[in-house]
Amino acid sequence: MAHYSSAQTITTTTNTTKDSTTVRVTTNEKSKYPKTVGYVSFILPLETLQNGKTAGNFGNATSIGFPVGVNVLYSDHFGFSYEFTPTIKSTNSSSKTSNLLFDPGTMFRFDGGFTIITRLAFETEGRYGFTPVFNQVYARTKDVNYFVALSLPNRFGDSEPYSIGLNLQIGFIFN
């Protein structure tokens, strides 16, 4: 998730008037690095392909994850992200926490709020793999940036065939 900071350049403008002359002073300050920001979000698995068959999330069972993470930003273009995602699975007869995912990764940050994150994945269900994430900040405020991301979880292990999925993540980053 997340993961582009808007607090990179601060512009302060001061107008003073002396003898009918206006002086305009503009100051630019760059963010100090490394910088740490946190985020919270929710993630919906939309579709999974495994063993030649696709499975959607809204059939017999529904899963939703709640990623919580910390991004350590080393520059305007690079950072590292640590994310934990507990997942709740609900069926007609029950709901329970079904999995905890730890997925650290490198962040490649681009202008305009777009970030590509390359994550490793380690699940308590016994699966492991990697997850490329494509993240876009769509709204900014002084305290919070709102983002949307698409991810492609690739999973192996636990005596199951390889799978690839498509997830939608929506959340906010604390500046």
Give me the sign of the Cα torsion angle 100, 2, 170, 133.
negative
Written as six digits, the tokens of 150 are 């698409």
Q: According to the model, what pLDDT value does residue 120 have?
A: 98
- Report how far residue 72's alpha carbon sits from residue 123's, in angstroms, rounded to the nearest whole number: 22
- 111 secondary structure, DSSP code: G
- Burial class of residue 19 in the structure, from the number of CB atoms within 10 Å of its CB (0-12 exposed, 13-18 middle, 19+ buried): exposed
Return the CATH architecture of domain 9-174.
Answer: Beta Barrel (2.40)
Looking at residue 9, its pLDDT comes to: 42
Q: How many residues does the chain have?
A: 175
Give the SS3 label for residue 153. Answer: coil
pLDDT lower than 70: segments of the chain: 1-31
Cis-peptide into 86, omega within 30 deg: no
3-state secondary structure of 40: strand
| pLDDT given at position 79 | 98
The model carries a pTM of 0.80
- Whole-number average pLDDT of the chain: 87
pLDDT per residue as tens digits for the range 3-41: 444 444 444 444 555 555 555 545 455 669 999 999 999
Rounded to a whole number of angstroms, the CA Rg of the chain reads 21
Per domain, the residue ranges of the chain are 9-174
